[in-house]
Structure 1
Amino acid sequence: MENIINLLVDKFIEIEKRTLLVLDQLSDEQVNWSPNEASNSITNLIVHISENIHERISKGINNKDFIRNRDAEFENMYRTKAELKHIFEQSFEELKDTTRNMTETAFLRTQVVRDRERTHLDMLFQCAAHFSEHMGQILYIAKIILDDQYVTTTLPKKKIT
């Protein structure tokens, strides 16, 4: 079980670090830019990830009160880069802390998401995949904006021991 926890936490740390490295390269205006009316801005994507964490982790695992308005996450909105970093860091802190403190019994408990019952372990793996997809979108938007000024966010690989 410890290996699974470490794998998940490492993935969440990677997503958090790479996303924050991208945000550091952008201005307030750039994080709120979207390629067209049908696409999301980095702001939308970060708010969406945060709300997903609140729904599935804060409420679903930690039993905190939370009501989600998913549609609002994709409406036109403006947040500063500093606000986005704060939102992202707070959400990921709870995500990582919750994952680190999970027991085998807790992993096997369930929650209902979109009319489907899932174990907390399944939910955490789904979060890792879902957030990785959105991180890719965030990176791509940054590359479009920054062009040749974009600095890669790829982290050095860990040695396997």
Structure 2
Amino acid sequence: MNQLEKEYLSIVTQQFRHFKERAEKAFKQLSEEELHWKPSEESNNIAIIIKHISGNMHSRWVDFLTADGEKPYRNRDSEFVDDMEPQEQLMKIWEDGWKLLFHTLENFQPEDLHKTVTLRQQPLSVLQAIQTEVAHISYHLGQILYIGKQLKDKDWMILSIPKNGSEAYNESVSKKSNE
């Protein structure tokens, strides 16, 4: 694998790990009841988002290079129904999807990044398919964090730079880089 391919896979894998970690930090702040809370009937709650992200990963990352990314066994519509799964089951659903994604990325061969795959019978490059997943997961991560913050309000533990904390953060980064 040439250096650019290695670097890209390393960067994208780190980004996915960051997304997963950040969402899990949010889940830990929430009760089972809060995972199922939604602001309106037409909204998604965190439990639904977990099921949807995992369903997407099960469809996209199984036989990624050889089968269409929208598998016939996927029932996408059911992902948007809250069946009131317990938190333990939701975390298993979550983890199973991520295992598929990371297993696929870890097993890429150099030539795989130059291949074409299909999604809903439409060809796209492997790079485009990966970037589509980055965008999809980051979109839903934002929803998870927004819902969590709405529920916890002032009790929400900020997972990035807190409000009015940019200067202190920049100073700490500067100190580390000067050491």
**Could you list the runs of 5+ residues in structure 1 that have no partner in the other structure?**
none
Q: Which has the larger radius of gyration?
A: 2
TM-score w.r.t. structure 2 length? Answer: 0.79
Conserved? CA contact 1:44–1:73, under 8 Å: yes
Which residue matches 1:136? 142
Tell me the distance in 2 between the aligned counterparts of 1:76 and 1:131: 19
Residue-pair matches, total: 159
Q: Secondary structure at the match of 1:111?
A: strand
Say if 1:33 and 1:42, in contact at 8 Å, map to a contact too.
yes
Deviates more, 1:86-95 or 1:38-47: 86-95
Within the candidate set 78, 81, 85, 1:79 is matched to 85
**Normalised TM-score (structure 1):** 0.88
- TM-aligned CA deviation for residue 100 of structure 1: 2.3
CA contact (8 A) 2:47 2:82 kept: no
Alignment of 1:2-21 (within 5 A): 2-21=6-25
CA distance in 1, matches of 2:82, 2:92: 20
Deviation at 1:60, TM superposition (A): 2.9
How far apart in 2 are the matches of 1:153 and 1:83?
A: 24
Which of residues 125, 129, 137 in structure 2 aligns to 1:119? 125
Identical pairs, percent: 30
What one-letter code is carried by the residue in structure 2 that aligns with 1:89?
Answer: E
Structure 1 ranges of 4+ moved more than 4 A: none
Contact 1:23 1:81 in 2 (8 A): no
Where relative contact order (Cα < 8 A, 6+ residues apart) is larger, the structure is: 1
1:59 and 1:67, CA in 2 relative to 1: closer, same or farther beyond 3 A? farther
Listed one character per residue, the Cα deviations across residues 15-56 of structure 1 (whole Å, up to 9, x for unaligned) are: 110111111111111101111011101011111111111111
Note closer, same or farther for the CA distance 1:108–1:66 as it changes in structure 2 (3 Å cut): farther
- CA displacement at 1:101 relative to structure 2: 2.1
Alignment of 1:71-110 (within 5 A): 71-110=77-116
